[in-house]
Amino acid sequence: MRSRARLAGHAVHPMLIAFPLGLLVTAVIFDVLFYASARDSFAVVAAHTTAAGVIGGVVASFFGWVDWYAVPSRTRAKRVGLLHGLGNMAVLVLFAISWMLRLDQPTWQPPVLAFVLAVVGLVVATIAAWLGGELVERLGMGVDESANLNAPSSLARPSH
């Protein structure tokens, strides 16, 4: 099923999700580095990448909901898409709370609860990402119906 939100021949949602997911993974890595070294600079980077990841996730989720809304009711794709979307909403909430818990801390140092929420967020993100893969690779969401190994570029003009 072709995606509703497209840019230059490709679905927008899959283009955008790499950024927030990468930022949120990076935030947890910097939290680990902070706990291992007690260097404040790692906590600052973790806090800022968390904020950027949540903001990027909100933007990416908008395009995901646009695509999900167009999926026919009572299909497996609609159910899997709902779980994928709800899972990712939970990820954004977990990381947003993690970020808010850092606000009153010196140099954005993550309290243990903030770190735990971020790690749980990554686990949920992994499950939600698998569901996203199921949508694309198994259920054909966002895949052009004319896709094949020798298909012309999305930017090529159709020949008539």
**Res. 146 pLDDT band, cuts 50 70 90:** confident
**Residue 131 CB contacts under 8 Å (≥ 6 apart), including other chains:** 80, 83, 84, 87
**Res. 157 pLDDT band, cuts 50 70 90:** low
Percent of the chain topping pLDDT 90: 70
Percent of the chain topping pLDDT 70: 93
> Cβ–Cβ contacts within 10 Å for residue 66, how many?
15
Strand partners, 10: 7
> Domain coordinates of the chain in residue numbers?
6-138
Residues 36, 11: Cα–Cα separation, whole Å: 40
Cα atoms found within 13 Å of the Cα of residue 123, Cβ hemisphere only: 6
Alpha carbon 20 to chain centroid, angstroms: 5
What mean pLDDT comes out for the span 136-141?
Answer: 86
pLDDT of 112 higher than 90: yes
**Residue 60 CB contacts under 8 Å (≥ 6 apart), including other chains:** 13, 16, 17, 19, 20
Structure tokens at 83: 């779980």
CATH topology of domain 6-138: Four Helix Bundle (Hemerythrin (Met), subunit A) (1.20.120)
What mean pLDDT comes out for the span 79-84?
Answer: 97
Cα 23 to Cα 44, 68, 73, 151, 156, distances in angstroms = 13, 24, 33, 33, 33
Torsion sign over Cα 81, 73, 10, 65: negative
**Res. 49 pLDDT band, cuts 50 70 90:** very high
pLDDT of 160 higher than 70: no
**Res. 83 pLDDT band, cuts 50 70 90:** very high
Structure tokens at 25: 């993974």
